[in-house]
Amino acid sequence: LAIDWSREVATCHPKYYKHQQKMFLDLYKNDLVYRKESMVNWDPIDNTVLANEQVVDGKGWRTGAPVERRKLNQWFFRITKYADKLLDGIKTLERWPEKVRLMQENWIGKSQGAQLKFDLTTPLHCHSERSEESRDSSASPQNDSEKIQIEVYTTRPDTLFGASFVGLAFDHPLAKELAGNKEGYDAFIKECQATGTSEAAIEQAEKIGFDTGHRVAHPFIEGKELPVYLANFILMDYGTGAIFGCPAHDERDFEFATKYTLPILPVVDMPAEEKLPYTGPGKIVNSEFLNGKNVDEAKAAAIAELEKQQRGTGVTKYRLRDWGAVRQRYWGCPVPFIHCDTCGIVPVPADQLPVELPHDINYDAPGNPLDRHPTWKHTTCPQCKGKATRETDTMDTFVDSSWYYLRYLDARNENEAFSKKATDYWGAVDQYIGGVEHAVLHLLYSRFWTRALRDCGYPVPADEPFTGLFTQGMVNHATFQTEDGKYVFPTDVEQNEKGDWVTKDGAKPVKIGPQIKMSKSKKNVIDPQDIIDTYGADAARLFILSDSPPDRDIEWTTAGIEGAWRYINKLHRMMMEASSELKDVGAMPSSFSEAAIKLRRETHKAIDGVGRGIEAFHMNKAVAILRELSNAISSFKPNDAGDTWALREAVEAFVQMINPMMPHLAEELWEQLGHKTPLTQTQWPKADPALLENDTVTLAVQVNGKMRTTITLPASADQKAAEAEALAQDTVKAALEGKAVKKIIVVPGRIVNVVAA
RNA sequence: GCGGGUGUGGUGAAAUUGGUAGACGCGCCAGACUCAAAAUCUGGUAUCGCAAGAUGUGUCGGUUCGAGUCCGACCACCCGCACCA
């Protein structure tokens, strides 16, 4: 392991973020950054935007006030432009865990469906009040007639005949107009706004709807009309922000229809044992021209008919949404834009970069300190030289982490973020390691950012930033909270005589929470420095490596650390005793005792196994194999020169292999063996294939699948010999009493199974 | 709610990917050494049973000569759900 400190990077330093501001401007030039309105959580008492994490049970974490969903004009990265490329790119990521590739695929969420328009059959009352906003793309352009259309997206056009309502997001451009003056609308909107903005909060909220009283015509059934509802489970961000509901074949529509007593019309023939809602395959029924077709055929036929009517078309949609690029916080890279009353939004000229954060800020009031700063945001417009203000939003820190790997390649370069020379030399990241928590967001943002930079002309090394990925499991720990909800460090609490958790300082009662991933905000963190101080770095390292496989979640505990420490002491003792006789063993003898051959087999099997373990990140298995080898070494008593040679071979291989686990002691032991070259400069040992095979094999013997005994045979023994030997066993004879042997299954090297009845 | 994982002794885990479940540790028990303790060494340790044997990999069901491993349904916990990063 080598760390080149001259390449140290701090994303909060202007030397880093000045490049990021340049990138932001380049993305803007390439139409990969834009502004639009989006929903945020709003704390009405603090008058500030809240992160999803700061919304607890629908209330602001500091004020306890119910949060509101509000719209805010913000910057977005156009990641959706890359949806298909990011999806296709997953296929090339052969050294990524399957689960992460699956999660990314699902997150991008490509779906084939249909987009179609329903005609409103009921008149709108207040046409004159219709705002500009309500004429955007989701509502079709109005011509001279007063025909209003609602465009919906569906992945199940085959179930159109089962439609029983049309639903719109509560913030759909047409929503207000459709509601008109109808009673209950304001209350309904208020209730929708009271749900947080997180998808989990929206999906888990009780489904509520508002009947607008309007009707639309069914596109395929002459004279049939469907009611138009507003509903809180329809997302404006996905599809067209409007759906048609087919309760018989969709979970959410079913729940909604049940609540508002809407018809539930099955149109897919389903197995008798299934219940509604049924989402499986089957033949279409009750659907006129679609009857008898399977789901896929019916989808195609429905789309063809919609296209014929010029009412709709087949479309591909993605679940992926554009990336909200900014936050209303001090701590982040300032967005290099200026707001001018005359010129609008003006990029900061490149020669004025970086736009640096002020250092004299105060956190006394809630909200963004940049916005409240007395001078920082006031500037002049680069175009008209008039008075203007700086953008006070700062970039999401995910932006910082989307390209830091590129900066490492050329961190000493003052002039540019990274040069072609550097990226040509280093290439993409060979092996990336991080927690599964990053499976989607960070890893997708980096993949996007890399492509976006490439398309802005930056010399990125490859389309994919990380060729290999390993995801560690979460290191979990219980959380502790005082009665006023403040988190406290595990090291600051203890159990009193009654077994209750209290703070060490003042014995205030603390509530113990579940084992969750260690995080700064929840303070459930332990500093491993303590175990390094007490037991040394080698023991700490061995302990961590030998404990759990790194891809599994663990509950952090130091139970067992003493075992690692004792083991290290033991190795040191053993070596002090043995090193003198192992120093000069001479040339490899031509023959070995049986015991020496056994030890050599164990040594070479260990070399093979440890290598495999490390390659596969199974460090705990590698350690286990090494402990087996050291057990074999410590119980081996040499009787002749060949034995001593074999022992030296075993010890040497052991020391070389334990080097990554306990580098300090391993180096010491290596010197004890008389070596002058440092261990770190030696070659990893190689296993002799001839010593990986045994000359005998042990087979398990089963009768009807039940283990009875084992037999040991020469490796060369054939199937007949194995059968005969198995049948000769007393335990087998006993188990077969009164039964006739029907057949015998022999799996070479593994088992013999006698099937009898 | 949705997407992805995990579940094996008192405990961390292993099992060559359908073939001897529990390797290797931690802990515990017993013994040796010691006036004693610690350290160290030796042996034991899935459960029930004196034994023969039976049972056992979250639960229930299935496929198979054979299931921790495959299939179906469920339960619990963890990660993520786009403003924690």
How far is A191 from A293, CA to CA, in rounded Å? 42
Length of chain A in terms of residues written: 757
pLDDT at A134: 44
How is residue A81 written in tokens?
């432009």
Which residues, in sequence order, are bridge partners of residue A330? none
pLDDT at A146: 65
- A18 Cβ contact list (under 8 Å, min separation 6): A353, A354
Give per-residue pLDDT as tens, A84-113: 999 999 999 999 999 999 999 999 999 999
Give per-residue pLDDT as tens, A567-594: 999 999 988 888 878 888 888 999 999 9
pLDDT at A565: 94
Greatest mean pLDDT among A200-204, A216-220, A481-485: A216-220
How is residue A430 written in tokens?
């060979």
Nearest nucleotide by C1' position to the A570 CA atom: B40
Q: Helix, strand, coil % (nearest 5) of chain A?
A: 35, 25, 40
pLDDT at A127: 44
Nearest nucleotide by C1' position to the A547 CA atom: B12
Question: From the CA of A132, how many Å to the C1' of B36?
Answer: 93
Do A212 and A182 touch, CB atoms closer than 8 A? yes
Give per-residue pLDDT as tens, A15-27: 999 999 999 999 9
User: What is this structure's pTM?
Assistant: 0.91
How far is A318 from A22, CA to CA, in rounded Å? 30
**Among the residues of A638-702, which ranges form H helices?**
641-658, 663-672
With a pLDDT cut of 90, the percent of chain A lying above it is 72
How is residue A586 written in tokens?
């001479």
Within 7 Å of a protein beta carbon, the nucleotides of strand B are: 1-6, 11-16, 19-21, 23-27, 39-42, 53-55, 65-67, 77-85
pLDDT at A136: 44
Q: Is the pLDDT of residue A402 over 90?
A: yes
Lowest mean pLDDT among A84-93, A384-393, A711-720: A711-720
Question: From the CA of A717, how many Å to the C1' of B35?
Answer: 61
How is residue A119 written in tokens?
């005609």
Rounded to 5 degrees, φ, ψ at A686 are -115, 140
Question: From the CA of A559, how many Å to the C1' of B10?
Answer: 14
How far is A259 from A242, CA to CA, in rounded Å? 19
What pLDDT band is residue A717 in, cutting at 50, 70 and 90? confident
How far is A713 from A729, CA to CA, in rounded Å? 13
With a pLDDT cut of 70, the percent of chain A lying above it is 97
SS (H, E, C) A177-244: HHHCCCCCHHHHHHHHHCCCCCHHHHHHCCCCEEEEEEEEECCCCCCCEEEEEEECCCCCCCCCCEEE
pLDDT at A382: 95
What pLDDT band is residue A264 in, cutting at 50, 70 and 90? very high
What pLDDT band is residue A1 in, cutting at 50, 70 and 90? low
Q: What is the DSSP string of A278-315?
A: --S--BB-S-GGGTT-BHHHHHHHHHHHHHHTTSEEEE
pLDDT at A137: 42
How far is A670 from A672, CA to CA, in rounded Å? 5
Give per-residue pLDDT as tens, A597-613: 999 999 999 999 999 99
